[in-house]
Amino acid sequence: GENVEQHPSTLSVQEGDSAVIKCTYSDSASNYFPWYKQELGKGPQLIIDIRSNVGEKKDQRIAVTLNKTAKHFSLHITETQPEDSAVYFCAASPPRKNDMRFGAGTRLTVKP
Amino acid sequence: GAGVSQSPRYKVTKRGQDVALRCDPISGHVSLYWYRQALGQGPEFLTYFNYEAQQDKSGLPNDRFSAERPEGSISTLTIQRTEQRDSAMYRCASSAATGTGELFFGEGSRLTVL
C-alpha cells in the first residue's frame, strides 16, 4: 500500500519568511495529493491539492509542486503570518481506491 | 450545523468494555471514512464506505474493530473488548464523490481506555 513520509516534523520561521514542507510517496499509481491544515482542537481542513497531470498549483500565498518521477511533492507558504501556525499534513491517494494515506505532519510555528 | 458530526466527543471506558462511535456525515456525501489519529501523528486509515457498502477495511487493526453504514448515511465504528492501546482520537470524514476529492473531517471522538 501507499506510504507517505513528511519532513520536517517541526518548522519555526519568522513572520514574513517562507516555509517549505516536503513529502515523498511510494505508490507510483497515486494521482491525488492534498495538503491539510489542522489547528488545535479541530479536524484537518483542506488548503490545497494537486493532481498528477500538473506540476505546480498556486493559491495566493500557498503553492504546491509535484515531481512524479521522484515521487515527491512540496508545500510552499510565502509571506508567513502568525495565523499560519498549525500542523500541516500531506496525503496521497491512488486512483480507484479512496484510502488516502497521510504523512505524520509538520508543526509550523510562525513567530511574530 | 452542516459539517461532519461525531459523537461522543469524549469517551472514557474501562478495559474490556465495548464502545460505539458515531459519525453523521455531510448530507448527501457518498463516501465516509474512518481514521485514527494518535497524538503527534497523521490520520491513519481504518476503513471507508461508498453509500452503504464497505469498500476497504484493510486498515482496521484487528477483528475487535468493525464499522457499518447500514443506510448509507450515519456510520458507527465499534470496538469490542477495548484495550489501552485503542486509546486515540477517532476521526470521521466524508466526501461528496466516490473518486478522490476533498475530505471533510469531523472534530473527532477521543477515546481513553483505562
CA-nearest of A68, A73, A79 to A29 is: A68
Per residue in B66-92, pLDDT tens?
Answer: 999 999 999 999 999 999 999 999 999
User: Which residue type occupies A11?
Assistant: L
Phi, psi values for residue B57, rounded to 5°: -120, 25
Q: Residue A87: what pLDDT?
A: 96
Q: Residue A98: what pLDDT?
A: 65
Three-state secondary structure call for residue B29:
coil
Mean pLDDT of B24-37: 94
| Residues B55, A43: C-beta atoms closer than 8 Å | no
Q: Which of residues 73-102 of A touch B (CB under 8 A)?
A: 89, 91, 93, 95, 97-102
| Residues B107, A99: C-beta atoms closer than 8 Å | no
Mean pLDDT of B32-54: 92
| Residues A99, B56: C-beta atoms closer than 8 Å | yes
Q: Which of residues 56-75 of A touch B (CB under 8 A)?
A: none
Per residue in A5-43, pLDDT tens?
Answer: 999 999 999 999 999 999 999 999 898 999 999 998 889
Q: Residue A58: what pLDDT?
A: 95
Three-state secondary structure call for residue B90:
strand
Q: Residue B1: what pLDDT?
A: 53
Residue A104 pLDDT > 60: yes
Per residue in A58-101, pLDDT tens?
Answer: 999 999 999 999 999 999 999 999 999 999 999 998 876 667 88
CA-nearest of B58, B32, B62 to B45 is: B58
> Chain A residues with CB inside 8 Å of B98's CB?
98
Handedness of CA A51, A53, A55, A59 (dihedral sign): negative
Q: Residue A97: what pLDDT?
A: 63
Considering only alpha carbons, which residue of chain B is nearest residue A4?
B42
